[in-house]
Structure 1
Amino acid sequence: MRRGRSKNPIAIVIVFVLISCFLVLILSVLRLPDASSGNNSNTSIKLDQISKFAGNNVMIGKFGEMMIEMLPQDLSFTIFIPSENAFEHDLKLNVNDSLVGEKANDTYAILTRVLSFTVVPWKIVSKSVRYGEEIVCDSLSGFKLYVSKDADEMLVVNSVRSKRVDLRKGEMVIHVMDSVIMEAEFEQSVRPDDDEDQD
């Protein structure tokens, strides 16, 4: 009986620790959707501030804002987000046309896929990348990103140059890119066919 009594406090502590860890895990998982949808008024103010800070010709734009809203603000991410012009030039997405009717679902699917190529699950600030060196990391989809810095102190990711660096939203670091970062297979699926160009 003495042995049983001496093990009880240890067993109670172990059970208490396990239950506490399990509760913390459940609460953090349940909290993620709230963080991504967030309070609409607060989110829009912050997104407006980011858009204004990005400058007149380097706007994040509606598609960029939609991508940012897909991620929880309270987790550390780096997102290499295409500029407003890059969405239109590279993906032929136009706010007035691409978010209307049946096209809205296709646009959302494209943005989700682009997000998987352009998000890294930790912070990469421009100061952490040394000129002449390259950081290799995996995006959320497993797509390899090669991050370097050019002579103008701008980041270059897979040959795509940044327009603005180190914007912040919550725990996220946002770099506005000059073009859309995507894998070759996806790029071919969203680009117009060569036949259309020849007609």
Structure 2
Amino acid sequence: MTNCLIPMSRLPDVSLSNNGSNKVTENSDSIGKFGEMTIEMLPRDLSFTIFVPSQTAFERDLRLRINESLTGEKVNDTYAILTRVLSFTVVPWKILSESVSDTKEMVCDSLSGLKLHVSKDADKMLVVNGVRSTRVNLRKGEMVIHVMDGVIMEAEFEQSVRSDDGDED
């Protein structure tokens, strides 16, 4: 396991409020509401790296929809899912894209103990357990945030999400 503590002198800061000037735009590399909710579960004053799924990834891979998931009976289920995703995607130290070798994979443990295999692709974007990043090195307090084009999760959780969905693609 590699433990990387890197100074964060010039990282862009991402605002998670609705009127922040650095808010990620609403498209395929957007943090979105579910990403914001996930990030807000972490204390801002501790060093973490989070490989947060984009809004598109939450919708596509977990079939979470804002208008359905945040009202009525689904609220508790949504928070349970976000908590599990958080445990798979957070590392308790800072990992900047520059700290990942262009040629060597970094292996580290998430909060849940899931092994994360972090590398770079030909375009120098991070790839974690086969999921490619769309944005890297965003900052919120002491956190480093990488927006991912998929959801990093263990196989058992993925199977349970797929089996709960009656209309698989």
Q: Give TM-score, length-normalised by structure 1.
A: 0.72
For 1:145, the equivalent position in structure 2 comes to 116
Map Cα deviations across residues 88-123 of structure 1 (whole Å, 9 max, x no partner): 000000001111111000000000000000000000
Q: 1:93 to 1:196 in 2, by over 3 A?
A: closer
Q: Which has the larger radius of gyration?
A: 1
Task: Could you list the structure 1 runs, at least 4 aligned residues long, displaced by more than 6 angstroms after superposition.
Answer: none
* 1:163 maps onto 2:134 in alignment: yes
SS in 2 for 1:44: coil
Kindly indicate whether the alpha-carbon contact (under 8 Å) linking 1:137 and 1:144 is maintained by their aligned counterparts in 2.
yes
Q: 1:118 to 1:50 in 2, by over 3 A?
A: farther
* 1:86 maps onto 2:64 in alignment: no
* 1:51 maps onto 2:23 in alignment: yes
Identity across matched positions, percent:
71
The alignment of Structure 1 onto Structure 2 pairs a total of residues equal to 155
Kindly indicate whether the alpha-carbon contact (under 8 Å) linking 1:51 and 1:61 is maintained by their aligned counterparts in 2.
no
SS in 2 for 1:130: coil
Counterpart selection for 1:181 from 131, 148, 152: 152
Q: Which ranges in structure 1 are unaligned for 5 or more consecutive residues?
A: 1-41
For 1:132, the equivalent position in structure 2 comes to 103
For 1:26, the equivalent position in structure 2 comes to none
Using the TM superposition, give the Cα deviation of residue 193 of structure 1 relative to its aligned residue in structure 2, in angstroms: 5.9
- Letter of the 1:51 counterpart: K
For 1:3, the equivalent position in structure 2 comes to none
- Looking at structure 1, the residues matched to 34 and 82 of structure 2 have their Cα atoms a distance apart, in angstroms, of 7
- Letter of the 1:44 counterpart: S
For 2:89, the equivalent position in structure 1 comes to 118
Relative contact order higher in (CA < 8 Å, ≥ 6 apart): 2
- Looking at structure 1, the residues matched to 120 and 111 of structure 2 have their Cα atoms a distance apart, in angstroms, of 22
- Looking at structure 1, the residues matched to 17 and 149 of structure 2 have their Cα atoms a distance apart, in angstroms, of 23
Q: Give TM-score, length-normalised by structure 2.
A: 0.85
SS in 2 for 1:72: coil
Q: 1:43 to 1:177 in 2, by over 3 A?
A: closer
CA-based RMSD of the aligned residues comes to: 2.2
